[in-house]
Structure 1
Amino acid sequence: MCETDDASDGSYRRQDPDKHRRAGAARGDAEHAEHAEFSALLEDSIEDLYDNAPCGYLSTLLDGRIAKVNTTLLDWLGYTRAELVGRRRFSDLLTVGGKLYHETHFAPLLAMQNKVSGIALELKASDGSRLPVLVTSVVKTGTDGEPLLIRTTLFDARDRRAYEQELLRARREAEEAHRVAEAERARLHQVLAILQNSLLPPALPQVPGVEAAAYYHTASADELGGDFYDLFALGDGRWGFFLGDVCGKGPEAAAVTSLIRYTLRAASLHADDPAQALGTLNAAMLAGYPGDDPRYCTTIAGTLTSHEGALHVTLASGGHPPALLLRADGSAHCLPTPGGMLVGIMPRPNFTRTTAVLYPGDTLLLYTDGLTEARTADGPRYSEDALHAFAGDLAPAGAQQTITALTGLLQGFGDGLDDDTALLALGVPATATPRGTAP
């Protein structure tokens, strides 16, 4: 060990010769590593970079003959340099479809623009396999501006092609699933339409001296509605009819509708008046749907009897909107049945009756609340007042004319009509025997 003068602070320090040697060796190693890295960069010549680039390169003469090609492209296609340079044109490396596209689109665009970028083509390898590539070609010009050769860069698009094929496969599967779903939906609509029609009379019967018309609007093809109507013979020249609306939709509502139709038909045959028939229906619904799952409906039922050219009507209502009477003199008013209770709620409900006489030119209209609860184009509900005003403008009108006008009204609501609607009109033709005249 030796002592040396440290000029920085004027003191004496003891220095270690081995430390100096280690520091010098470390500096030497770092310099050697840096020199080695620099040498490696020098070894990566431009020619080597061209030949072993991760993409394919080739240069062609203006007639398309290959003048230069890198090793990457040769490896992709399985050719030797001697097999391509000076002996093949770029278009010779393309598939039939690619060659046609090259001749009709690629080459003309390149001649006009001196550059074409990102064109998808397919190369044909020596073993006959196909290689999808993205091609960019640039025309190199001389100092005089004249074209000398064409430089082309090709990027391997196999991963992209696989991705596109996967997307295409997924799209086809989605389209097939959509087609199957649409077919299933169409079959469902057909089944629902058949079931819905089974809950309605296939056609209204011909009643002597009476014009009858009906219409049923289905708000959704995907659900069974709960509206219903019917017109049927009671015997001895009397006819029964009813119209109503079951609470809810779907199969459960359809089952209740079926129960109501057949119960009301049977009850009307034996009842003295419509109110008694509604009482029988109420008892049947309470018995069929007891406990925590009650079912109920609103309905209006009646009977028709022809007498001396007039039609005598008796009505009873179970919580249903009142019927409208359109008179031959152009007036229109409702036939109120106050106090009528919902059917299927209480053990001893109160069903009220009313009567009316229809003369030639008069029409009685029954409807469900899908009509009066439809939303208009301005947003608010259509309302019963609006319907009464519509009927007042329409009167006098026969049964079919009334139903036709209301059908147009319903269609005008568009998406605002979100509930099923049933309409039933009964009238005396204007050509019938005048009142007070013997038939």
Structure 2
Amino acid sequence: MTCGTGGGGEGGPERNEDPVREQVRFSALLEDSAEDLYEHAPCGYLSTLLDGRIAKVNTTLLDWLGHRREDLVGRLHFSDLLTVGGRLYHETHFAPLLRMRGEISGIALELKAADGTRLPVLVTSTVKTGSDGQPLLIRTTVFDARDRRAYETELLRARREADRERERLRNLATTLQKTLLPPALANVPGLDVSAHYHIASVDEVGGDFYDLFPLASGTWGLFLGDVCGKGAAAAAVTSLARYTLRAAAVYDPAPAAVLANLNTVLNHEYQGSDPRFCTVVFGLLTPDRPRGGFRITLASGGHPPALLMRADGTADFLPTPGGQLIGVLPAPDIVTTTVHLAPGDTLLLHTDGLTEAHTHATTGGTERYGDDALLDFARALAPTTASDTVGAIRDLLDALGTGVDDDTAVLAIHVPRTPSEEQQ
């Protein structure tokens, strides 16, 4: 077997190449590559005199704009290639900043093509100076921003679409929330009633609910509750709870029986991997003819105790200890208490969004608003009316601001005094 030696011997053609001729050829290739790189670079190049007249422009930019070289060089200024808005920006911002800094980069402008179309570009310019430090000309690099503009346009469109969808969902949530609350509370002769629902987030449907409605002649039912969770699932439980309470009260208005019926429905309907439950207080109102005012019997299923603000200026929680959540156990412990509302007394029912709210502590952190603060708040209000109580709580919730991270429902009932009683 023989080995070829033509490429590596002394007689090989590469070794016979004249080194000088090779160097000249390589230099010419470099010059040609440099010129070709300038003319056909992936970006546009142009040089202008200090007054803005175009002195040199590469083929790439000419192709983008559809101009001939002789139409631009020595005849037009760089600003002539800009749109009206771009020309104004160039004169008021671009050119002054360039003169002051000597360079400016990444400026978004639009160039006018020969056919009248607009080319979005990003422009970077630097001032070339001579050996004496004096400016000679301006070198400008132009980057095609059409893909970027298309991306930004699509991003803006997607953002607007997302905003519209978010607004649509908010409107849907607001509408759904309204359907879960009574359009108006029943008018009870001899009673002043006021209610308020504070929405913690407009993006989600809360699970708080309340109502006041007539039953048999001279009897009214009322309830206020809070379903666990938020969103559509909680809304479904809220709707079921509201209609079950009203239907159960017609069948047997005894407060403990009403909550027992609701517990049976929830415990049967929501079992397995997705249990649902609520806290709720149900009351039965009847006029107290002999003494005046009203007699109210309350049954509590794991709900925060009601606040009673007396006409004499005292206030305290009504004792309903030990009541268990509704919907969790087959037979929960349901606590009942009865109280007389005399003229001048006010009863306040509320969900735990109020007491679970956070307030800024003096140390700079946050702390739970709590039952004690609410009791102090009620004692400062008493004696009061239903509308004044709800108005004060609305102000309190507004003052707590973002510290209220759960929906809050309040229902206040007040027995007004007669003119003769107010004079006593």
TM range (shorter): 0.7 to 0.9
Cα drift, residue 236 of structure 1: 2.1
Q: For 1:135-284, what aligned pairs fall within 5 Å after superposition?
A: 151=137, 153=139, 155=141, 157=142, 160-161=143-144, 164-271=145-252, 273-284=254-265
Q: For 1:262-411, what aligned pairs fall within 5 Å after superposition?
A: 262-271=243-252, 273-306=254-287, 307=289, 308-378=291-361, 379-411=366-398
Cα drift, residue 335 of structure 1: 0.9
For the structure 1 residues 433 and 186, does the alpha-carbon distance in structure 2 shift closer, same or farther, using more than 3 Å as the test? farther
Asked whether the 8 Å contact 2:248–2:262 carries over to 1, the reply is: yes
For the structure 1 residues 404 and 115, does the alpha-carbon distance in structure 2 shift closer, same or farther, using more than 3 Å as the test? closer
For the structure 1 residues 168 and 238, does the alpha-carbon distance in structure 2 shift closer, same or farther, using more than 3 Å as the test? same
How far apart, CA to CA, are the structure 2 residues paired with 1:228 and 1:102? 58
Cα drift, residue 231 of structure 1: 0.4
For the structure 1 residues 101 and 434, does the alpha-carbon distance in structure 2 shift closer, same or farther, using more than 3 Å as the test? closer
TM-score with structure 1 length normalisation?
0.74
- With 166-175 and 271-280 compared, the bigger mean Cα shift is at 271-280
Taking only aligned residues, the RMSD between alpha carbons, in angstroms, comes to 4.3
Asked whether the 8 Å contact 2:38–2:58 carries over to 1, the reply is: no
For the structure 1 residues 271 and 123, does the alpha-carbon distance in structure 2 shift closer, same or farther, using more than 3 Å as the test? closer
Asked whether the 8 Å contact 1:231–1:239 carries over to 2, the reply is: yes
For the structure 1 residues 433 and 187, does the alpha-carbon distance in structure 2 shift closer, same or farther, using more than 3 Å as the test? farther
Give the letter aligned to residue 312 of structure 2.
D
Asked whether the 8 Å contact 2:173–2:203 carries over to 1, the reply is: yes
Give the letter aligned to residue 320 of structure 1.
H
How far apart, CA to CA, are the structure 1 residues paired with 2:345 and 2:22? 108
Cα drift, residue 137 of structure 1: 6.0
How far apart, CA to CA, are the structure 2 residues paired with 1:370 and 1:108? 59
Give the letter aligned to residue 427 of structure 1.
H
Partner of 1:422: 409
Asked whether the 8 Å contact 2:83–2:111 carries over to 1, the reply is: no
Cα drift, residue 170 of structure 1: 1.5
Q: For 1:37-48, what aligned pairs fall within 5 Å after superposition?
A: 37-40=22-25
For the structure 1 residues 92 and 346, does the alpha-carbon distance in structure 2 shift closer, same or farther, using more than 3 Å as the test? closer
How far apart, CA to CA, are the structure 2 residues paired with 1:397 and 1:173? 58
TM-score with structure 2 length normalisation?
0.77
For the structure 1 residues 207 and 117, does the alpha-carbon distance in structure 2 shift closer, same or farther, using more than 3 Å as the test? closer
CA deviation profile, 1:289-331 (whole Å, cap 9, x unmatched) = 3455433221111111222531211111112111110011111
For the structure 1 residues 123 and 273, does the alpha-carbon distance in structure 2 shift closer, same or farther, using more than 3 Å as the test? closer
How far apart, CA to CA, are the structure 1 residues paired with 2:323 and 2:72? 98
Give the letter aligned to residue 367 of structure 1.
H
Cα drift, residue 367 of structure 1: 0.7
Cα drift, residue 280 of structure 1: 2.2
Give the letter aligned to residue 191 of structure 1.
L
How much identity, in percent, do the aligned residues show?
A: 44
Cα drift, residue 374 of structure 1: 1.2
Q: How many residues align?
A: 398
For the structure 1 residues 89 and 326, does the alpha-carbon distance in structure 2 shift closer, same or farther, using more than 3 Å as the test? same
Partner of 1:95: 81
Give the letter aligned to residue 366 of structure 1.
L
Matched, 1:34 2:15: no
For the structure 1 residues 389 and 35, does the alpha-carbon distance in structure 2 shift closer, same or farther, using more than 3 Å as the test? same
CA deviation profile, 1:115-139 (whole Å, cap 9, x unmatched) = 7777998888989999977665658
Give the letter aligned to residue 147 of structure 2.
E
How far apart, CA to CA, are the structure 2 residues paired with 1:288 and 1:79? 81
- With 125-134 and 408-417 compared, the bigger mean Cα shift is at 125-134
Cα drift, residue 173 of structure 1: 1.3
How far apart, CA to CA, are the structure 2 residues paired with 1:92 and 1:340? 82
Give the letter aligned to residue 180 of structure 1.
E
How far apart, CA to CA, are the structure 2 residues paired with 1:203 and 1:197? 11
Structure 1 residue runs without a partner (length 5+): 1-21
Cα drift, residue 420 of structure 1: 1.5
Structure 1 or 2, whichever has the larger Rg, is 1
Matched, 1:54 2:38: yes
Give the letter aligned to residue 380 of structure 2.
D
Asked whether the 8 Å contact 2:245–2:262 carries over to 1, the reply is: yes
For the structure 1 residues 288 and 135, does the alpha-carbon distance in structure 2 shift closer, same or farther, using more than 3 Å as the test? closer
How far apart, CA to CA, are the structure 2 residues paired with 1:331 and 1:35? 111
Cα drift, residue 345 of structure 1: 2.7
How far apart, CA to CA, are the structure 2 residues paired with 1:23 and 1:336? 112
For the structure 1 residues 100 and 428, does the alpha-carbon distance in structure 2 shift closer, same or farther, using more than 3 Å as the test? closer
Cα drift, residue 336 of structure 1: 0.7
Structure 2 residue runs without a partner (length 5+): 1-7, 40-44
How far apart, CA to CA, are the structure 1 residues paired with 2:94 and 2:118? 21
How far apart, CA to CA, are the structure 2 residues paired with 1:169 and 1:336? 66
Asked whether the 8 Å contact 1:51–1:70 carries over to 2, the reply is: no
Asked whether the 8 Å contact 1:114–1:139 carries over to 2, the reply is: no
For the structure 1 residues 122 and 413, does the alpha-carbon distance in structure 2 shift closer, same or farther, using more than 3 Å as the test? closer
CA deviation profile, 1:9-40 (whole Å, cap 9, x unmatched) = xxxxxxxxxxxxx99779x9769543224434
How far apart, CA to CA, are the structure 1 residues paired with 2:268 and 2:101? 89
